Amino acid sequence: MSDSSSAQSISRAVVLGAGTMGNGIAQVCAQAGMQVVLFDINEQAVAAGMANIERMLSKAVEKGKASLDETKAALALISTSTDLAASCADAQLVVEAIPEKLELKQSVMAQIEDAVNNDCLIASNTSSLSISKIASSMCCPQRFIGMHFFNPVPLMALLEVVVGEQTSEANIELAVELSKRLGKEPIVVQDAPGFASSRLGVCIGLEAMRMVEAGVASAADIDKAMELGYRHPMGPLRLTDLVGLDVRLGIAEYLCEKLGDRFAPPQLLRDMVAEGKLGKKSGEGFYKW
Ligand code: NAD
């Protein structure tokens, strides 16, 4: 499989993990006309994932972004499962969106490889882990690639295609074409820490926090500087509140270890996380929610 015609020929996809990202990925695959199995080890997660897809699709109808018939057709293409081997047996594409833990992803890769056919493309939605490391014990790392979607998946245009050390050229091309078929704008990024998006986004966010720490301006005014001066749709501190300060701290620590002190988490970030000010999810971060 290697070109746009192969991307078009993918009609059976499996998404592993029905959480925040997985249900969105399943939705966009179905809207692109694929039959999708939404798999999770947890039945409640599968039910919640399906409920979210239904909610997102009705919102799309309300906003005139999709017709009722289109959304009904998409829903009819999605089935759910808690049986991995059965789900993957005839899959042409598997996308994993399970928790961000290296050992977990590595062990699930082994299970997927046992279950799928040789020509199945296997993708990870990891936001920070090394694609080459996840693939390190795979028999066929050539067919493994990062497809990093953004949250909320149905609404966000960017998709980072992350190339592992052993990913084949044909599969890079396939993932790029597939991303376009899913309505996304792909960028191709090497398997470097933080890929392109997190590395730059976190860098700006950490500097903004250092500016709050140093009393340069208020959080709201620093955000406004980026929104009005640089046309960012949302300032870096408000965005940090949405992502979660604890999540940002984890990524900063990882990037600091891999790329050096310029990613060292500011003390303010550590203090706020320790105080439970995690952003929107806890009711307070740089803003009150
Ligand atoms: P989540 O916690 O919302 O969902 C994870 C789901 O995986 C849960 O439903 C859980 O039951 C399920 N799960 C756990 N072990 C499993 C297994 N062995 N097999 C199948 N399902 C399993 O997580 P999320 O936020 O959707 O993140 C998933 C992945 O996407 C992570 O790698 C994360 O880094 C990445 N990501 C997240 C975001 C985001 O904004 N949340 C953005 C981009 C990428």
| Pocket flag, ligand 1, residue 111 (CB < 6 Å) | no
Positive/negative CA dihedral, 13, 15, 18, 19: negative
What is the value of pTM for the model shown? 0.92
186-197 pLDDT, tens digit per residue, is 999 999 999 999
Return contacts of 133-136, CB within 8 angstroms, 24+ apart: 133/102, 133/106, 134/102, 134/105, 134/106, 134/109, 134/164, 135/109, 135/164, 135/165, 135/166, 136/106
Q: How confident is the model at residue 257 (pLDDT cuts 50, 70, 90)?
A: very high
Query: Distance, CA 102 to ligand 1 centroid (Å)?
Result: 12
Ranges of beta strands (E only) in 129-256 are 144-148, 158-163, 185-190
CA of 101 to the centre of ligand 1 (A): 10
3-12, 146-155, 256-265: lowest mean pLDDT where? 3-12
- Please count the structural domains in the chain: 2
Q: pLDDT for 89-116, tens place per residue? A: 999 999 999 998 899 999 999 999 999 9
User: pLDDT at position 67, please?
Assistant: 96
Cβ count near 191 (within 10 Å): 19
Burial 170-185 (b: 16+ CB within 10 A, else e): ebbbbbbbbbebbebe
The domain that contains 158 carries what CATH number? 3.40.50.720
* Segment 161-186 mean pLDDT: 98
DSSP 8-state symbol, 152: S
The model's confidence at residue 1, banded by pLDDT at 50, 70 and 90, is: low
CB 30 within 8 A of CB 36: yes
Q: Which residue segment(s) compose the domain that 105 sits in?
A: 4-190
Is residue 58 lining ligand 1, measured as CB closer than 6 Å?
no
Q: Is the CB of 125 under 6 A from ligand 1?
A: yes
Q: Which amino acid is it at 208?
A: A
Give yes or no: residues 154 and 239 share one domain: no
Domain boundary residue, one of 147, 175, 190: 190
The distance between the two most distant Cα atoms of the chain, rounded to a whole number of Å, is 58
Q: How far is the CA of 33 from the centre of ligand 1 (A)?
A: 23
Which residue has a Cα nearest atom 25 of ligand 1? 20
Q: Residue 23: CB within 6 Å of ligand 1?
A: no
21: left (phi over 0), alpha (psi -120 to 50) or beta: alpha
CA 54 to centroid of ligand 1, rounded, Å:
19
Residue type, 34: M
Q: Over the stretch 228-255, which tens digit does the pLDDT of each residue have? A: 999 999 999 999 999 899 989 999 999 9
Give the residue carrying structure tokens 């066929």. Answer: 140
18 Cβ below 6 A of ligand 1: yes
CA–CA gap between residue 187 and residue 151 (Å, rounded) = 16
Tell me, what CATH number does 251's domain have? 1.10.1040.10
Binding site membership of 98 for ligand 1 (Cβ less than 6 Å): yes
Does residue 173 sit in the same domain as residue 105? yes
